[in-house]
Amino acid sequence: MEEDVKRWERSYGKLRPAHKELLPHLPKKHQDLRRCSAANFRFILNMLQAFDSPFDMSQDYDTGEETIKRGREASFDINCTSQASTCEATDRVANGYPCLPDKNGIVISRENDAQLDGAVQNGQRSGSSCCEDGNNVDDSRCIDNRLKGGEARLEDVNKIAKPEKSFSKIKKISICGMDFQDPSLQLHVPPADVDKVRCIIRNIVRDWTKEGAFERDQCYKPILEELNYYFPNRSKERPPCCVVPGAGLARLACEISCLGFACQGNEFSYYMLICSSFILNNTQAPMEWVIYPWIHSNCNMTSDENQLQPVYFPDLHPGSAGITDGFSMCAGDFVEVYSHRGQEGMWDAVVTCFFIDTAHNIVEYIEIIAKILKPGGVWINLGPLLYHFADAVSYSGEEEMSLEISLEDVKKVALRYGLKMQKERTIETTYTANQKSMIQTRYTTAFWTMTKDGDSQTAPQR
C-alpha cells in the first residue's frame, strides 16, 4: 500500500502549480489512505496474533508491554502481507465432529484423517475474469493458498480454533508500541500474496458487514429459503445436517446453523480459515472491528469519501447469533475429505455457493456430492461456471487439469449420478463487489435444487 501511495504522491508532485491548486485536498487524502492502511494492518495483526504462530518469527519488536515477533523473510508487512503463505501447517484439526467449541462455540474439525499442509499454491486468477473491479485484485475467487492433502500432520490445523492468547492481551500487543506507518516495517511481499489479503478484506465485507447485506441477500437468502422449504420441521434434538463446501468466511454456514441445521463448513484456504476462525471464535461483540476495504485502488471511485469509507464487523456476533449444536468448520480439500468412505450417505443437504467451478474436475465434485447425500437428500447450488483452473497457465506457468463443461453438461452429469432437478432458475448477483464502485461485475448464476434418488424410508426428515 505504501508503494501505491508514494506513486500517487509522485504523480501529484509532477502537477503544474495551477493544476495542483485545483486539487489541494489530495495530500491530505494520501495521509488518510496511510491511516486507513495502518488500521487494516492493525486488524490483520490482531487476527494473526490470535493464533499460535506457525510462521518463521525471528525478529522481535519490543512494544514495552509485550514482545511482537516479526518474521525474518517477509513474514509480515504494513501492506497486509500473507503470513499464511509462509507457514508450515502448525494448526491442528481434530478428528470427528462435533469437537470442543471455542469461546463462541464454533470449532474447526475434520471428518477423516486425510493429511493437510499449508503449501502455497499460486492460484491467482488473472485479468478481469478474476477481479470484481477490473483492477487485477480483489476477488477471493483468486485465493488459493490452500490446505492440500498428503503432506503435513493431522494435528496441525486445530490450533486455528484455539487461539491461546487472551483477547485483551491480543489488543495490547497490536496497538501499543508500534508505529504502523513506520517504513521500516515494510518488507517485500509477493504481489500475489498482497492481493490475497486484499481479497480476504473484500470477503469480510461480503460476509460480515452491513454493507455486504445486499449481496448476501442475493446469494444466501434464496439458499436459506430453499433449505427452509425442504426441511420445514427441524428437530432441535436431531437437526438435519448440512455441509457447505468452499465455505469462505463462513457466514452462509453460520446462517444455516442459525436456521436450525447441524452445519459444517468446509474450506481449504488458510487465509479463509484463519479469518473465519477469528471472526467466529474471537469476536466479542458486533461491530468490534473496522477495516477500510476500498483504499487499495483509486480507480472507479465516485468520491474520496466512498473510497475511505470504514466498514465495521461483524454485523452479526456469531457467539450470540443462535447457532445450532454441531456447527463446525472442516479444514481440508473437499475432494480428499469428503471422498472418504465414512462420508457416504451422511448429509441431508449439501449447499454450494460460488464453489463448483473451483474444481479441477467438476464431475468428481458432483460424484462426491451425490455420494455424501442421504437418499432423498438435497443439493442446493448457486454460482457461475468461471472455472478456476481454466487459465492456470497464465498465472502459474503450468497447465493444470481443468474440465470446463457447460451448464447443460453439468446437469446431465448430475442426473447420471442420481440427482434430480427439482427447481432451477438464474440469479443475478455480484461477488465481493464494492456497491459504490463505477464498475460492477455481475454474474448470471445458476441456482438449483436437486434431490438424490432415494428410498423414502431413509430419506431425510422434511
Ligand X SMILES: C[S@@+](CC[C@H](N)C(=O)[O-])C[C@H]1O[C@@H](n2cnc3c(N)ncnc32)[C@H](O)[C@@H]1O
Number of residues that bind ligand X (CB under 6 A): 21
Is residue 388 a contact partner of residue 123, using CB atoms and an 8 Å limit? Answer: yes
Q: Is 90 among the residues that bind ligand X (CB under 6 A)?
A: no
Q: Closest CB to ligand X among 68 and 387?
A: 387
- Name the phi and psi angles at 225, rounded to 5: -65, -40
Q: Closest CB to ligand X among 78 and 157?
A: 157
DSSP-derived secondary structure for 25-57: THHHHHHHHHHHHHHHHHHHHHHHHTS---S-E
Report in angstroms how near the CB of residue 401 gets to ligand X at its nearest: 13
Q: Is 201 among the residues that bind ligand X (CB under 6 A)?
A: no
Q: Closest CB to ligand X among 26 and 321?
A: 321
> How many Å apart are CA 99 and CA 239, to the nearest integer?
17
Binds ligand X by CB under 6 A, chosen from 353, 372, 410, 446: 353
Report in angstroms how near the CB of residue 181 gets to ligand X at its nearest: 31
Report in angstroms how near the CB of residue 267 gets to ligand X at its nearest: 5
Candidates 81-89, 158-166, 194-202, 347-355; binding stretch for ligand X (CB under 6 A): 347-355
Q: Closest CB to ligand X among 69 and 141?
A: 141
Report in angstroms how near the CB of residue 102 gets to ligand X at its nearest: 21
The C-alpha cell that represents 328 in the structure block? 463446525
User: Which residues is 108 bridged to in the sheet?
Assistant: 329
Q: Closest CB to ligand X among 102 and 333?
A: 333
Q: Is 267 among the residues that bind ligand X (CB under 6 A)?
A: yes
Q: Is 77 among the residues that bind ligand X (CB under 6 A)?
A: no
> How many Å apart are CA 68 and CA 65, to the nearest integer?
9
Binding to ligand X, residues 12-41 (CB under 6 A): none
Closest CA to 446 of 418, 420, 410: 410
Q: Closest CB to ligand X among 71 and 246?
A: 246
Q: Closest CB to ligand X among 86 and 358?
A: 358
The C-alpha cell that represents 306 in the structure block? 466512498
> How many Å apart are CA 8 and CA 343, to the nearest integer?
53
Report in angstroms how near the CB of residue 307 gets to ligand X at its nearest: 23
Q: How many CB atoms lie within 10 A of CB 202?
A: 24
Binding to ligand X, residues 217-246 (CB under 6 A): 219, 245-246
Cα–chain-centroid distance for residue 440? 20
Q: Closest CB to ligand X among 277 and 358?
A: 358
Q: Is 268 among the residues that bind ligand X (CB under 6 A)?
A: yes
Q: Is 79 among the residues that bind ligand X (CB under 6 A)?
A: no
Q: Closest CB to ligand X among 132 and 333?
A: 333
Residues 6+ apart with CB under 8 A from 161: 99, 102, 106, 107, 108, 109, 277, 281, 329
Closest CA to 323 of 260, 249, 417: 260
Binds ligand X by CB under 6 A, chosen from 270, 355, 379, 417: 355
Report in angstroms how near the CB of residue 358 gets to ligand X at its nearest: 4
Q: Is 334 among the residues that bind ligand X (CB under 6 A)?
A: yes
Closest CA to 299 of 436, 141, 129: 436
Q: Is 208 among the residues that bind ligand X (CB under 6 A)?
A: no
The bridge status of strand 347-353 relative to strand 373-383 is parallel
- Under DSSP, is residue 407 helix (H, G, I), strand (E, B) or coil? helix
Q: Is 349 among the residues that bind ligand X (CB under 6 A)?
A: no
Binding to ligand X, residues 120-159 (CB under 6 A): 140-141, 143
At residue 459, what is the residue type? A
Q: Is 248 among the residues that bind ligand X (CB under 6 A)?
A: yes
Closest CA to 434 of 131, 182, 191, 194: 131
Q: Is 269 among the residues that bind ligand X (CB under 6 A)?
A: yes
Strand order in the sheet with 347-353: 94-95, 107-110, 328-331, 262-267, 241-245, 347-353, 373-383, 443-452, 419-429
Q: Closest CB to ligand X among 149 and 375?
A: 149
Binds ligand X by CB under 6 A, chosen from 124, 281, 328, 358: 358
The C-alpha cell that represents 129 in the structure block? 475474469
Contact residues toward ligand X (CB under 6 A) are: 140-141, 143, 206, 219, 245-248, 266-269, 272, 333-335, 353-355, 358
